[in-house]
Amino acid sequence: MIIPILRLKDVLLTSIQVDLTDQEALDFQADVLRMVSETEAGGIVIDITALDVVDSFMARVLNDTARIVRILGAEVVLSGMQPMVALALIEMGRELVGVETALNLDQGLERLQRLIQERTSGHGRPD
């Protein structure tokens, strides 16, 4: 299972369209990190509209991915999370700390651009 990661000017765009096994999720994480460092993109939007389950493992993968991407000097926005997925995650006690989110791909790209601007103009968050 290879999830395509597209390049759009200085940002990357990817959409998880199928339910991933744990290994596929880890492979995806590796692909994202490799693409971010190879392309020196300013950031990436990961669209998860199609995911109808995000359990603690997937939450951790998404969380870790975002953290590492930030360490690599880029930004991450997660878009399109299903409302009931968010609810289940909150009920489980999982917060996606440190992951920026947006309702859809459009708002995600917009948000990513703003985050990149803030970072380059030195107004980034202290973490």
Nearest of 51, 78, 53, 74 to residue 63 by alpha carbon: 78
Q: How far is CA 64 from CA 13, 26, 32, 56, 59, in A?
A: 18, 10, 11, 12, 9
Output the smallest distance, CB 17 to another protein, in A.
14
Residues in 60-79 at the binding interface with another protein, rule: CB under 8 A = 60, 78-79
Residues contacting another protein: total by CB under 8 A: 40
Report the residue from 53, 73, 98, 118 that binds another protein according to the rule CB under 8 A.
53
Residue 33 or 78 with smaller CB distance to another protein: 78
Residues 6 or more apart whose Cβ sits within 8 Å of residue 39: 7, 12
Name which of 37 and 107 has its Cβ closer to another protein: 107
* Residue 77, phi then psi, degrees to nearest 5: -125, 130
Q: Which residues bind another protein (CB under 8 A)?
A: 19-23, 52-57, 59-60, 78-79, 81-96, 100-104, 106-108, 111
